[in-house]
Chains A and B, each alone.
Chain A
Amino acid sequence: MAENTMQAMPPVRPPRGLSRDAVVRLLTLPGVIVSLVVLVLPLLVALYMSFTDWSPRSSSFFEAGFVGFDNYSELTVYDTRFLYAVLRTLCIAAVCLSLEFAIGLGLAVLFLREFRGKSLLFSAFLSPMMILPVVVGYTFWMLFQSNGPINQMVELCFGPGSSPEWFRSAPLAVLAVIITEVWHWTPLFFLILLSGLNAVPENPVRAAVILGASPRQVFWRVVMPMLKPVIVVAFVIRTMEIIKLFDEVYMLTRGGPGSATETISLYIYKLAFNDFQLAYGAAAAFLVLLGCLLLIHLLLSPVRDQLLKGGR
Chain B
Amino acid sequence: MHAKKLSPLLAVVMGLALAVTLFPVFWIVMTAIKPPTDWNASPAIWIPSEPTHINFLTLFDPEAIGAYGVGGVSQSATKAVWGSVRASIIATALSVSIGLLSAIGITRYGNGSKIAPLVILSGRMFPPAAIAVPFVIIFSNVGLTDSYVGLIAIYAAATLPFSTWMLKSFVEDLPREVEEAAMIDGRSRLMAHLTVTIPLIRGGIFATTLFIFILNWSEFMFSLVLSYTNISTIPVQLARYVTATAGTLYGVQAALAVLAMVPLMLMGYLIQSHLARGMTFGAIKQ
Instruction: Report A-B touching, CB under 8 Å.
Output: yes
The answer on a CB contact under 8 Å between A28 and B106 is yes
The answer on a CB contact under 8 Å between A45 and B134 is yes
Q: How far is the CA of A113 from the CA of B5 in the complex (A)?
A: 10
Chain A positions near chain B (C-beta within 8 angstroms):
10-11, 15-18, 20, 23-24, 26-28, 30-32, 34-35, 37-39, 41-43, 45-46, 49, 61, 103, 107, 110, 113-116, 118, 121-136, 138-140, 142-143, 145, 147-149, 152, 183, 187-188, 191-192, 195-196, 230, 233-234, 236-237, 240, 243-244, 246-247, 250-251, 264-266, 268-269, 272-273, 278, 281-282, 284-286, 288-289, 292-293, 296, 300, 307-308, 311-312
Give the residues in chain A near B225, CB-CB below 8 Å.
Answer: 269, 272-273
Give the residues in chain B near A230, CB-CB below 8 Å.
Answer: 284
The answer on a CB contact under 8 Å between B129 and A281 is yes
The answer on a CB contact under 8 Å between B3 and A149 is no
The answer on a CB contact under 8 Å between A115 and B5 is yes
The answer on a CB contact under 8 Å between B284 and A196 is yes
The answer on a CB contact under 8 Å between B20 and A31 is no
Given known contacts A31-B99, A45-B138, A135-B28, is B130 in contact with A284 (CB within 8 Å)?
yes
- Tell me whether B85 is interfacial, beta carbon within 8 Å: no
- Tell me whether B40 is interfacial, beta carbon within 8 Å: yes
Of B133, B184, B192, B284, the contact of A192 (CB 8 Å cutoff): B284
The answer on a CB contact under 8 Å between A126 and B272 is yes
The answer on a CB contact under 8 Å between B24 and A136 is yes
The answer on a CB contact under 8 Å between B279 and A17 is no
How far apart are B258's CB and chain A's nearest CB, in angstroms? 8
Give the residues in chain A near B234, CB-CB below 8 Å.
Answer: 132, 134
Of A32, A46, A114, A131, the contact of B130 (CB 8 Å cutoff): A46
The answer on a CB contact under 8 Å between B129 and A272 is yes
Give the residues in chain A near B272, CB-CB below 8 Å.
Answer: 122-123, 126
Majority SS at the chain A contact face:
helix
Which of B53-61, B62-70, B118-126 faces chain A? B118-126
- Tell me whether B246 is interfacial, beta carbon within 8 Å: no
Q: How far is the CA of A240 from the CA of B105 in the complex (A)?
A: 27
The answer on a CB contact under 8 Å between A125 and B17 is yes
Of B122, B133, B153, B157, the contact of A293 (CB 8 Å cutoff): B122
Given known contacts A15-B188, A125-B17, is B250 in contact with A28 (CB within 8 Å)?
no
How far apart are A59's CB and chain B's nearest CB, in angstroms? 12
Q: How far is the CA of A278 from the CA of B121 in the complex (A)?
A: 25
A-B contact pairs, 16 of them (CB 8 A): A17-B191, A23-B193, A27-B105, A39-B131, A39-B157, A61-B137, A61-B141, A116-B3, A124-B22, A126-B275, A128-B24, A183-B21, A269-B129, A269-B221, A281-B130, A285-B130
The answer on a CB contact under 8 Å between B129 and A152 is no
Most-contacted residue by chain A among B18, B186, B214, B239 (CB, 10 A): B239
Give the residues in chain B near A138, CB-CB below 8 Å.
Answer: 28, 238, 242, 253-254, 257
Q: How far is the CA of A136 from the CA of B283 in the complex (A)?
A: 27
Closest chain B residue to A230, Cβ basis: B284
Give the residues in chain B near A38, CB-CB below 8 Å.
Answer: 153-154, 156-157
Of A110, A133, A152, A187, the contact of B44 (CB 8 Å cutoff): A152
Closest chain B residue to A42, Cβ basis: B134
Per-residue CB proximity of B240-280 to A under 8 Å, as 1/0? 00100000001001100100110011011100100110011
The answer on a CB contact under 8 Å between A132 and B260 is yes
How far apart are B87's CB and chain A's nearest CB, in angstroms? 14
The answer on a CB contact under 8 Å between B238 and A134 is yes
The answer on a CB contact under 8 Å between B268 and A126 is yes
- Tell me whether B187 is interfacial, beta carbon within 8 Å: yes
Chain B positions near chain A (C-beta within 8 angstroms):
1-6, 10, 13-14, 17-18, 20-25, 27-28, 31, 40-44, 46, 98-99, 101-102, 104-106, 109, 114, 118, 121-138, 141, 153-154, 156-157, 160, 164, 172, 183-184, 186-193, 214, 217-218, 220-221, 225, 234-235, 238-239, 242, 250, 253-254, 257, 260-261, 264-265, 267-269, 272, 275-276, 279-281, 283-286
Q: How far is the CA of A195 from the CA of B133 in the complex (A)?
A: 38
Most-contacted residue by chain B among A126, A264, A266 (CB, 10 A): A126
Of B17, B122, B239, B280, the contact of A251 (CB 8 Å cutoff): B239
The answer on a CB contact under 8 Å between A285 and B284 is no
Give the residues in chain A near B136, CB-CB below 8 Å.
Answer: 272, 278
Given known contacts A126-B275, A192-B280, A293-B122, is B133 in contact with A278 (CB within 8 Å)?
yes
The answer on a CB contact under 8 Å between B22 and A127 is yes
The answer on a CB contact under 8 Å between B135 and A16 is no
How far apart are A175's CB and chain B's nearest CB, in angstroms? 15
Leading 6 A-B pairs by shortest Cβ distance:
A17-B188, A285-B130, A130-B268, A27-B105, A38-B157, A31-B102
Closest chain A residue to B97, Cβ basis: A30
Of B4, B129, B132, B235, the contact of A132 (CB 8 Å cutoff): B235
Q: How far is the CA of A233 from the CA of B40 in the complex (A)?
A: 42
Q: How far is the CA of A234 from the CA of B1 in the complex (A)?
A: 29
